[in-house]
Each structure stands twice: as structure tokens, then as C-alpha cells.
Structure 1
Amino acid sequence: MKKKERVQREKSEKGVEGITSKTAGLNFQERCPAQSIEEYQCTGNLEADFHEVTALLGLSEIPTVTPRSSALSPSMDKGISGESQTQGPWCSKRQLLVDLETEDPRSAKAVKVFGWKVDETMTKALNKILPSLNNLQTLHFWQADLTTHTLLSLKATLPLCYNLRTVVLEGNPMAEHSYHLLMSEDGNIAHLSLRHNQIGEEGARLIGSALSTTQSANKSLVSLNLAFNSIGDAGAKHIAQGLRLNRSLLCLSLANNHIGDAGAALLAEILSPFPLTHEEVVERRKLKIQRDQSPSLGTDQALSIPSSSSVEQIVSKATKTSSKKKDKSSASQTGSGKKEDPKMAKKMSDTKVQRNRQKPETRDRQPPVMETEDKNNLGLNKSADGGEIVSSLLDPGVQHVGGKMIMPGNTALTSLNLTGNRLTERSLECFCSSLQAQGDGAGLMHLCLNRNAFPPDCKTFLKIQELMVFRDPLNKSSTTQADGQGLVE
């Protein structure tokens, strides 16, 4: 009996050793495979995660994941200018294109879908995988047949992608015109391209309201591409309305949108000082009352540049406090007259050595990309002395002229593209006067008016070109002149 027990015990031990040897090099997820998508833990390797997640969702036809280290694809820069109509590489099979930062499969910086439908199940898979991609910067959908429901599902995931800054949604017309959902006030998208989406007046109205209203304004969006849509004069009016109080958008493309003189004149109007409406005046008064009653914001000092006298007072106070601290430290060191304890001196020297050893590690440690970009974005919403600007309605440059409150024009917008529209010389005169009102130091630096309904040799267009020569830093035909402060190209 003892011999039989010994044999059974040896067999069981060998079986356990065989199992442990098979699972020794596997991680926890490989040892215990997930039974559902909720249990699955993404690794950051998009190709591997995509295969596992789609299998758990029961997809029969799984698109191929194609990683590319350096791939040619439709660029956001060409989209901003509106000149390029190239959309994406044509391929008969469905594939998920992944641009990698390096050869590491976990360094995906861009995920692109070209020409196949992203349904609710595929959206669920992307929502599971995208937050695990730490380097993800761009999300590109071209003719993906997105709906409002799938767009809402993706929108809930975008804030979890901390480094995502560029979203390209082109060739996806929606009956509900829900594109403005990507422009929420608390969003993190900096570059948004919405070309070829058949956006009309209603879509432009929603986008204009997302840019700014009297109660809110988008503070994250830097560039917006609305080229190759059907915005027209009515839609241009809504876009101009949104630009009245928006001070974060730098680049706007409205190329090929059937915009005529009426819409162009409204866009030109907000570039120079304009009168506030009754609703804006009322909201400005409310904001001033709230600001005056709030102890954190205080008075107008939160929105103005500190004077030289106040700076001198701050400096003098700082020097006085530092001198007092030095006096106290010197008195504590020399005034006691006692001999220094050698044990205490040795202990203090050891602590100093430890601190010096730790300093290089803290210096080499760099903050994450999201943290640094958030600090930069916050700087756009603060005044010169660090006070947060609640609304551009509280701009200290607002003046009372002729019984009206005149608001400084939108000088934050630096690039405006109106190529391929229906502008005549009539609307060119509006832009010419607005550029002259802005002056040379601020405002538009790039204004594209090619392929419109005016001859290229008309006087107003030539005059605008002369004005833009000294404003556009990318204009190679500009001449170099000295203006007292430096060289202007």
C-alpha cells in the first residue's frame, strides 16, 4: 500500500511540475484568458489587443491591422489650407492603419480608418483599446459611415486619451449634424478637420455655438477645417457669430463653401472692433458683478497688466524678507557662541550628500506631455499677470463710443482660408478695412482669397496683398525692412 501511495504522489508532482513549466513564461492574462471584453486588460500593443478584443466581441470579419513606421497619409496641414482633395489610400480589404513612433509596437501615434464602416461593435472595440495607447496623438476617420450614436460613444472615450490632439472626421455626412459634439468646452482636441461632410446652415449654426456664446467658449481648439462643405452665406453668419468671443482658434479654413459677399463681410467685420449686442452687454454686466463679488478674481486687476510701481513694491518686499531671513540664519549660526557638535555636523553633512544624490534624478525627470500642454493651454486663458480670463466680454479694451460698447476685434485668428468661394471686390473692401484697423502687430497673418469671383489684378486685392506681405511670416516674396524693433518679413 505504501508503494502505491508513493507512485501516485510522484505522478502528481510530475504533473504539477509540467503545468508550472508551461506557464512559467506567461503573464497573468495568458495564464487566465479573459472570458469577456470587460475582463480583458489591454497591453498597449494595438495589433495584439485588437485581435483579442474583436474575438471577444464575436466579430467574424476582423479588419487587418497594418502598422507603419513612416507612412504617407493625408496631412492635417494640407487640410487646413483646403488645397488638397486627396483623402486616403484605396484598398479593397478592410484594414486599420497604425502609424508608429518607433519600431516598438506599443508606440502607436495615429490610428486611421479609410473607406470601411465603423459600426457600434467596432466602436466598442476601439473604446476599449484607444485609452491604452499612451502615445496616441491622431485619430482619423475617412468615409467610415459614422453615426451620431457612434460619435457620442467615441466622444466619451476621447478624454481618456491624454495625448490625443488631432481628430480628422472627413467624408462622414450625418443627418443630425453632430460634429459640434467634438468641440465641447471641456474637450482636449486642438485640431479638428471636418471636410467633405455636407455641412450646411444647421451644422454651421451648431459649430458656431460650440465656438462661443455669451455664456461659454471653446478654449482648446486651435485649428478648424470646414473646407468642401455647403456652409454658404447663412452658415458663414453663424461661424462669424462664434468667432466674436472665441479667443483660442488660430486657423480656420472655409474653402469651397459657396460663401458670397454677405457671409464674407460678416467674417471680416469681427476682425476689427465691433459693437456689442444688447445680450452681450447684459452678460458683460453680470460677469462684472460676479467678478467684483468674487474674492478670488477681485477687481479689474485680475484682467490688467500690473503697473511698474506695483512690481517695484513686490520686489522690495521680496528683498526685505530675504534679508531678514539671512540675518536670522547668520545670527543662529554665529550668535550662539557655542561649539558645534561633531555628531550633528556629520549627520547634517550626510543628509546634504543624500539630497545632492537625489537632485539629478529630479532634474532628468520630465513632466508628461499632457501636463506640459495643459499648462500651455491654460496660459492662453490667463491675463498678463496670471489672472484667469473668465470671458472675453471682460476684455479691458472695451470702450464706450457714441452710446455703444465697442469690443476689440478678434486678433487671435491668424489664418483664414476662403479659397474657391464667390467673393467679389465688394467683400474685399471689407477685409481691406479690417486689416488696416488691426494694424501690423496683431491679427491675421495669412489670408487666402484665391479662386473667387474677382479678377486677380483688381486694385483691392492687390492692396490686400501688399498689406499681407509684412504680416505673413511664410510669404517668400516678402521684402525685408527695418521697423525700429527688428526685421519684419
Structure 2
Amino acid sequence: MPRKKPAKEKVNIEEEVLKNRDDYQCSGNVQIDFPVLCAFLDIKNIPTVYTSETEDGDMDDTQSQINDESVWSKPRLTVKLENEDPHSATRMKVSGWKVNEQIFQVLQIMLPSMSQLESLQFWQAGLTDPMVISLMNTLSHCSSLRSVTLEGNALPEQSFHLLLSEDSVLTHLSLRHNRIGDEGAHLIGLALSTTRSANNNLLSLNLAFNSIGDAGARHVAQGLRFNRTLLFLSLSNNQIGDLGAAHLATVLGEFALAHEEAKERRKLLLHRTQTSYLRLDSDQLGDHLAQGSLKMEIKGTPPKKDSSRKDEKSTDNKEKSHRKSTDTKVTLSKNGKLGGKEKQLPTQEAEMVEIVNPLLDPSVHCRDGQLFSSGNKTLASLNLAGNRITEKSLPLFLRSLEVQDEGGGLLRLCLQRNPFSSECDSYMKIKELIAFRNDKDSHIKNGPETREEEGQVT
């Protein structure tokens, strides 16, 4: 281990970290790696690493912990181990103390070596926009890390949406208590989907306690129009009224395509048609070449053996290369990364990408001169508890629920603690319809958003 440099030598922090990264190989044992890396950067008062083999709930913040400063305000790194092996960390948490730039860089160096780490939590850690941007770049190097909780960390430049980018590997993201507001919700909506891009990995998103109003709800609803991956969405304890609720309800049922959306659909259809023609021409060319070769053999003109063998080997190599290339790219596509320009994709894979695009869904139909989509039937859980939704919006949700086909659509709609009577007719019908669906498919009852309401709503 290199010695500490004299105080008069001021070395750039990033250069020093890179140098130490080359000198020191992280073992994946946080209790060893963290203090050693901190020492390399000459960090004073290194936070203590605490390990636990307790259940997941024991690492969550409770109200008693929040009120007890002696528990949560002291700098510490809490790690949950899967078993007695110190390399089996599955969750890591920073809670209630400000993480400076040096500490954050240490975490960045350490994270890729933690092969079993699945969840990373920052609660009131004072993270900055540059830190979140750096975190996004680090996540792609973490083999198992798919869940990030970033709560109580307001960001001036609202960089949260980067964690939902098209190439993000995250499947679970919680952004509670971050003062996201309508502006941040706009960026998040764009990250969820546009007519040309969509997040294809994120399964659950928690935006509770973020001062999101009607405008923000409209932006999030816009992002749900062409997102076909997200299963759980929480917008509880915000400031959403009937206008915002109407946009969310509309996107769940049949809705008309806007002019730009219809225009983009025509472009995609044209591209698919052109691709089909190119494939057809290629097949016909192959048939002509095969027939020509057959005629040569019938006429008694034997092809050259060496040339034939070379051609056969070349063809075999090309086929093997094509298969290998196709297999690789399909795998990347499942992870949300196409791994190359669109024009380089094989014809078959290009069609696979187009099929999943909601604009090309067979259910899109024309009525009265306008195109209609069947709506988002992928979202299974929507939490709107603790907002400003009145009885006026409930028929819209009921209508959307009624038109959703079997085998898709909402299985959970949480509307508690909104200013309407729990005895009103529309609300009772919504509850009955949701209960009927859950009798058929009960897996939603253990979803990631259920625990939140179980602790706050009765």
C-alpha cells in the first residue's frame, strides 16, 4: 500500500483515485475495501462499516429511527450480508449523513467489485447532480445492482431522470421526498417514453412525496403512453387533482394518437415495408443464383472444386458469423441495449424491435378518420393515495378499467386519503372490479408498492 503523500503535495483527487485503483484491487469485502480506499485519499474520520444478516425490513427507516439522532445522524455505512461470507453483501445503505465527493468516489470504485450487491440506498445523503450522473455511469459496471433508492436528496438540476434513461439497467427506482415537482416530472416522463425511445428495463418507480401537481401528472401520463415495461408506479402523497388524474386515467384506456404520434407511426410502417422488400429481394437473388448453378451442372460444365470449396467455406463462415452476430445483439436487446446503429441490425431483429413498439401494435385502429391506441395495459399497480382527487375523476378510471382486456391492465389502484367519500358509487365499483381481477391474479399483492401503503393507510 502506497504511503501518504506530504501535505504540501496537492494531487488532484480524481488522479489520485485512479492511481490507487491501479495499485489496490478491491476484494468485494466492504469492511476491508472501504477503509483502505478512504486511507488512500487521506480521508479523516472514516465512517464505520456495519454489517447485518437481518431481514430486509431491518434496514428500512422507521419513524423511531428518524426521531433518534443518535441512530441515524452518525456517519456509517450499513451493509446487509446474505450469509456469514463478508463478500456476500446484497444491500448497502448510506443514511442521514452528508456524503462528500471523496467518499462518493470511494463508493464508485468499490461498487463494481461487489458481485452480489442488488440494492443501493441513499437516504438524506446530500448527493449532488454530478454525483448522480457519475452513479449512472457506474451502474453499468455492476453485475447484480438493479435497485436504487435515492430519497431525501433534492437536486437543483433535477438529474433524477438520468437513472431512467433508455440504457439504464435499473429495474427498481425509488425517488421519494426529493422535491421533484412538475419540472422534474416532465423530465421523468420523457425518460419513460417518447414516440422514438422508451425505458425497457424499469419495473417499479416510486415518486411519492414530491410536490407533483396536475402538470407533472400529465407529463408522467405522457411517458406511460408508449412505455410497456413499468409495472408499479407510485404517485402517492403529492398534489395531483382532477386534471392530472384525468390524464392518468385516459392513458390506461383507449386514447387517440396525436398528430406527431400518427406521423411517427407512418414512418415506422414505411421503414418496415422497405425492410421487407429488401429481404424479399435478397431471397430472390439467392434463388436465382442457386438456379444458375443448377443449370451449369445440367449442361455438363462442372464447377471448379477448389472454387466450390472456398465458396462453401466462405458461405459457412458468413452464416456462422451472422448467427453469432444476431445472437449477441438479441441478448443485448433484452437488456435494453441494441449495441449498434439501427441500420446495422439484422432484418429479423429490426422487425422484433418494431413489433414491440406500441405505435405498431395491431390493436391500433382507425375510427372516424383518427387513429386510436388501446392504451397502457402493462401497468399493474398505480398508487394515487393522499392527493387531491375528487369524485369527479373516478368515472374516468372506472371507464378505463372496464375497457381493459383480460390478461392485462391494473390489478391495484390505490385512491385512499383523497377528498371523496369512500361510499360513492364509482369508487365502490372500482374496488369491486379490482377485487375481481385480483381473484384471478393474486401476484400483485406482494408488489414493491404494497408495503408502502400497508404502513401508512388503513
With normalisation by structure 1, the TM-score equals 0.69
Pairwise CA distance, 1:295: 5.3
Name the CA distance, whole Å, in 2 between partners of 1:233 and 1:250.
22
Pairwise CA distance, 1:227: 0.6
* Aligned counterpart, 1:194: 175
Change (3 A) 1:277 1:129: same
The residue type equivalent to 2:226 in the other structure is: L
Name the CA distance, whole Å, in 1 between partners of 2:263 and 2:271.
13
Change (3 A) 1:75 1:166: farther
1:47 is matched with which residue: 31, 34, 40?
Answer: 31
Name the CA distance, whole Å, in 1 between partners of 2:424 and 2:406.
23
Paired residue secondary structure (1:229) = coil
Aligned residues: 364
1:422 and 2:403 correspond: no
Q: CA RMSD in A?
A: 3.1
* Aligned counterpart, 1:394: 360
Name the CA distance, whole Å, in 1 between partners of 2:109 and 2:28.
11
Matches within 5 A, 1:235-254: 235-254=216-235
Name the CA distance, whole Å, in 1 between partners of 2:157 and 2:38.
29
* Aligned counterpart, 1:68: 52
* Aligned counterpart, 2:307: none
* Aligned counterpart, 2:398: 432
Note the residue ranges of structure 1 that are not aligned, 5 or more in a row.
Answer: 1-33, 300-372, 478-489
Cα pair 2:381 2:444 within 8 Å, conserved: no
Aligned-pair identity (%): 51
Pairwise CA distance, 1:67: 0.9
Per-residue displacement from partner, 1:237-283 (whole Å, max 9, x unpaired)?
Answer: 00000000000000000001111110001000011111100111111
Change (3 A) 1:123 1:248: same
Pairwise CA distance, 1:65: 0.5
* Aligned counterpart, 1:461: 427
Name the CA distance, whole Å, in 2 between partners of 1:113 and 1:476.
29
Cα pair 1:417 1:449 within 8 Å, conserved: yes
Richer in helix (by share): 2
* Aligned counterpart, 1:96: 77
The residue type equivalent to 1:396 in the other structure is: P
Change (3 A) 1:475 1:393: closer
1:128 and 2:93 correspond: no
Name the CA distance, whole Å, in 1 between partners of 2:48 and 2:418.
43
1:205 and 2:186 correspond: yes
Note the residue ranges of structure 2 that are not aligned, 5 or more in a row.
Answer: 1-17, 281-330, 337-347, 446-458
Name the CA distance, whole Å, in 2 between partners of 1:469 and 1:137.
33
Cα pair 1:74 1:86 within 8 Å, conserved: no
* Aligned counterpart, 1:446: 412
Pairwise CA distance, 1:439: 3.8
Pairwise CA distance, 1:471: 1.1
Name the CA distance, whole Å, in 2 between partners of 1:225 and 1:404.
34
1:261 and 2:226 correspond: no
* Aligned counterpart, 1:335: none
Paired residue secondary structure (1:169) = strand
Change (3 A) 1:218 1:432: same
Name the CA distance, whole Å, in 1 between partners of 2:265 and 2:65.
44
Change (3 A) 1:237 1:85: farther
* Aligned counterpart, 1:231: 212
Name the CA distance, whole Å, in 2 between partners of 1:36 and 1:282.
53
Change (3 A) 1:85 1:460: farther
Change (3 A) 1:281 1:96: same
Pairwise CA distance, 1:37: 3.6
Cα pair 1:291 1:298 within 8 Å, conserved: no
* Aligned counterpart, 2:323: none
Name the CA distance, whole Å, in 2 between partners of 1:221 and 1:297.
34
Cα pair 1:469 1:475 within 8 Å, conserved: no
The residue type equivalent to 1:432 in the other structure is: L
Matches within 5 A, 1:376-415: 387-388=352-353, 389=355, 391-415=357-381
Pairwise CA distance, 1:93: 2.1
Per-residue displacement from partner, 1:75-97 (whole Å, max 9, x unpaired)?
Answer: 89xx9xxxx87886833421100
Cα pair 1:291 1:297 within 8 Å, conserved: no
The residue type equivalent to 1:47 in the other structure is: Q
Name the CA distance, whole Å, in 1 between partners of 2:436 and 2:379.
17
Paired residue secondary structure (2:173) = strand
Name the CA distance, whole Å, in 1 between partners of 2:376 and 2:152.
30
